[in-house]
Structure 1
Amino acid sequence: MGFLEQYVEGIPELDMEASRAAAAHIGNLTVPPGALGKLESLAVQLAGITGRIKPSFEKKAVIVMAADHGVCEEGVSAFPQEVTTQMIHNFLSGGAAVNVLARQAGAKVVCVDIGVNNDISHPELVSRKIRFGTANMAKGPAMTRAEAIRAIETGISIVEEEVRRGVSIFVTGEMGIGNTTASAAVMCAMTNTEPAKAAGRGTGLDDERLKHKIGVIEKALQLNAPDAADPIDVLAKVGGLEIGGLIGVILGAAANRCPVVIDGFISSAAALLARVISPEAAGYMIASHISQEQGHRQLLEALDLRPGLDLDMRIGEGTGGVLGLTLVDAACRIVSEMATFESAGIAGSGV
């Protein structure tokens, strides 16, 4: 048994006793039953994840996995591949949208080069390059199975390092021109969805280029025949290195009893694969928002996740996930700071 299999076996189930205790506590707060909606279910989930009725998360991290995609050769993106490298420098200088929103949420941004098709040197960059971008999945597998496993294990190692630094909640983020194409292919392989219903406009494709993108996905799926019963096979054949890294982030968070806030379409594709690898990991996932990318709603439904926000966003990077941290903070404050009927001297039946 390899490291990944052993690691996944160690992912614990949620603490249902803590969840029940949190639900009972919420039932005594000075609001009508169910009045706080999704915040209540989120608070119960956080209790189950952490084993604490009143959890708090002082250190937060957005893990931005960055990698390039060989399928960009097919002209599936409105932007050139060089933008991946340029955006990484933007992350590292603190000027990207995810940096701005992370500062607001009190989270740090950890940028990881897991497969950028360029040599990048920066003191703040976490360099874990597996290869210089994936191969063109329209001509063959995106990567080898060994590389796919290594990508997942890289994500796990990043989380383990951050947990040792005191981080207790994670957000999935990504950067990689062409990664909506890979994510749509993953979705199609795992859910038997037609590419025309999974592929979206990504960074802003017009109708003609979207039609071409759909054709490329169809070709990649037919050529590679990914096995839906084997998520690592799907990752290797039509996925991306950053998608593999995010699978590892999700599994690593779950193994350490840390919530992991899922961002948009790409992160949700990674979450779908992670859920098949470890069904227990699903309980640690929190859906932050629903994006404008076609297929995201169906992916969330496949994951049985209810997004907290609907802001018409489609930027990626972890931006929606960082905004989701505000909901986590709100749920924590509700259970830790709100008065109960007894403490406030209010008759519960009169509210």
Structure 2
Amino acid sequence: MSLPLSVLDLLPIPSGSDAPSALQDALRLVQHVEKLGYSRYWVAEHHNMLGLASSVPLAVLSAASQVTSKIRLGSGGVMLPNHAPLSVAEGYKLLSALAPGRVDLGLGRAPGTDGRTAHALRGQAGLMEEPFERQLADLIAFGTGKYPAGHPFAGIIAAPDGPNLFPPLWILSSSGYGSHVAAHLGAGLSFAWHINPDTVQARMAVETYRRNFRPSPDFPEPKVMVAANVICAGTPEEADDLTLPFGLMFLRLRLGTVGQYPSVEEAKAYPYTPQEKAVADAARARVIAGTPEQVAERLRSLADDVNADELILSSMTHDQTARKRSYELIMNAWQQA
């Protein structure tokens, strides 16, 4: 049986468009990939980025819950240091009430933004700088109602309350740290190969996770999902062109001039210096791009090399038709291989 494929959405706002249109595109996308047979639709958390509409994944997922019926919905992930653990527990239990039995709670310890914005987020929320492990323990206590002896908030109920409302936990990792945390908790591990495309490091993190895994009610066995940037098109040349905006977006991020997600034409017309071209090309190299057969082969190699149980794919394009087509071509090739 083929490994399941899932979708990671950053909700790009194409140049010439706006956030309301991007959100409607996201809702159409989740319906599209549900019909194609994708297992999950996860939304990333990013802040202070004009080109992305994914600052509050919970809002997007709540809307997605009302236009879907089968696909699992999750955060990819909640950047826990930006949030009060009780608020996260309440929000995702409420989402579980909207979409019973199909919610995932992915958690990360990075801010999902620059340091200044992270400080503003945490300051406004009144959050203290606490270790990720402490925040995680508090989240689980609030979510399950099982408090260690002497916990200062024992007895507080993360509402709404009810059986099976607190979703399964996944730990996001781009290094070895998250694999230890996920193994200790008996949580799923989602490795961000799309951020850190070091296959050797990814394999080592997965091996560490599997070796030290402690079974839990949600995960009686270890479960590894690996994220990849993917663009699929009818020809290699078309796919290569579709990666050009991705490179320009990351160059702009490096320069601090991030705007809306650029088009292929904008990327081709940009006056790159040699150094800028190198930055953009390095970003493009992190994208698995090509024809359906080429992409499917590279994805299978990645899954084998890392020993993954599932792949979650982020396909970023300016044109939403090309984006939906990318996911369609990938799934068709994946099922036929």
Global fold match (TM > 0.5): no
**Larger strand proportion, structure 1 or 2?**
2
Higher relative contact order (CA 8 A, sep 6+): 1
Q: TM-score if structure 1 supplies the norm length?
A: 0.31
**Larger helix proportion, structure 1 or 2?**
1
